[in-house]
Amino acid sequence: MSADLSAPVLSGAVLLRANPLSKLFAAGIVTVAVMLSIDWVSAAVVLSGELLLMPLLGISARRLLLRIWPLVAAAAVGGYGTALLAEKTGRVLLDAGPFLFTEGSVGAGIAVALRGLAVALPGIFLMISTDPTDLADALGQKLRLPHRFVLSALAAMRLAGLLLDQWRTLGLARHARGAGPDGSPLARVRDFLGQSFGLLVQAIRRATRLAVAMEARGFGAGPRTWARESTFSAVDLWVAAAGAALAAAAVTAAVAAGTWNLLLT
């Protein structure tokens, strides 16, 4: 079965009912707030806010973790690396030859790890609570982006979801032809590149055929109507307000705690 990237994983949750644009706004403003400063207070506030809002997604912590564990791992590795290499200030916590950790360096490491997660989560939340078709509708109708662009991107996204299946089939087909990934690491790399090229060829051919099919159905010329009207409701006000409030809380807390460290200055 194909992993269809263009279908959201949940139904009935509050966030799914919100207009994609309000979610986009909320995710955007929160992300900007975290990006502005490298400090652990603002990141921690945003991260706790995000975790508190998680129930609105209607996804269990376990399923969420299954989806985002690579990010968690990456954040942990990033934090560890920072703690190892950052400026060694404050009390020494661990000194084992080249592995020297101090209060200052561990603090910097935690800040980087929290910040990584805090930046990534809004995007993840947006993705799992938003149907790409609804997003395209909102972008086309509310933001008035050109429909050619929006709908082509939407169709491309659906094709991208099918690539996983294609990749698997190509792998089997190559193995059957004697081009499987046996042997040296170099041969494996060559095989991977070969299969990637094969996938690219398939993707282009498929996209070309799809473009013809879309054109045959009147796409691309003249004005169009939208069968699904993109609307705003009270939920959107709450979503946008929650995003703005979380961003404001993060900045306020960091400034109050004296950790605010504006990147641009």
Partner 1 sequence: MTVGSTRPVAATADGWGWRHAGRPGFAVRGVDLHIEPGERVLLLGASGSGKSTLLSALAGVLGDAEEGEQEGRILLDGEPPAARRGRAGLVLQDPDSQIVLARVGDEVAFGAENLSVPPPEIWRRVRESLDDVGLDVPLDRSTSALSGGQKQRLALAAVLAMRPGLLLLDEPTANLDPQGVTEVRDAVVRTLDRTNATLVVVEHRVAVWADVVDRVVVLGAGGGILADGPPAAVLGDPATRSVLAAAGVWIPGWRPPLAEAPGTRTPGPELLAARGLSVARTRRGPAVLEGVGLSLPEGSALSIVGANGSGKSTLALTLAGLLRARAGTVAAADTLARGAGADPARWKSAQLVQRIGSVFQDPEHQFLTGTVVQELEFGPRSARIPAAEYGPRVEALAERLRLTHLLHANPFTLSGGEKRRLSVATVLATRPAVLVLDEPTFGQDAGTWAELVGLLRGLVAEGRSVVSVTHDDDFTRALGGGILEVRAGSARPTAAA
Q: Which of 168, 196, 256, 262 binds partner 1 (CB under 8 A)?
A: 168
For position 69 contacting partner 1 by CB under 8 A, the verdict is: no
Give the footprint of partner 1 on residues 196-225 (CB under 8 A).
198, 201-202, 205-206, 209-210, 212-225
Q: Which two tokens stand for residue 222?
A: 């003249």
6 contributes a contact to partner 1 by CB under 8 A: yes
CA distance 117 to 233: 30
Binding partner 1 (rule: CB under 8 A), the pick from 154, 163, 250, 251 is 154
> Cβ closer to partner 1: 90 or 220?
220
CB-nearer residue toward partner 1: 202 or 252? 202
Taking the complex as a whole, the smallest distance from the CB of residue 19 to partner 1 amounts, in Å, to: 17
At its nearest, how many Å lie between partner 1 and the CB of residue 185?
15
Residue 104 contacts partner 1 per CB under 8 A: no
Q: Which of 12, 97, 178, 258 binds partner 1 (CB under 8 A)?
A: 178
List binders of partner 1 among 115-134 (CB under 8 A): 131-133
- Exactly one of 12, 99, 176, 186 binds partner 1 (CB under 8 A); which one? 176
Stretch that binds partner 1, among 19-27, 78-86, 118-126, 172-180 (CB under 8 A): 172-180
What distance in Å separates the CA atoms of residue 27 and residue 123, rounded to the nearest whole number? Answer: 6
- Written in H, E and C, the secondary structure of 46-106 is HHHHHHHHHHHHCCCHHHHHHHHHHHHHHHHHHHHHHHHHCCCCCCEEEEECCEEEEHHHH
Q: Which residues form the interface with partner 1 (CB under 8 A)? A: 1-2, 4, 6-7, 131-133, 151, 154-155, 158, 161-162, 168-170, 172-183, 194, 198, 201-202, 205-206, 209-210, 212-229
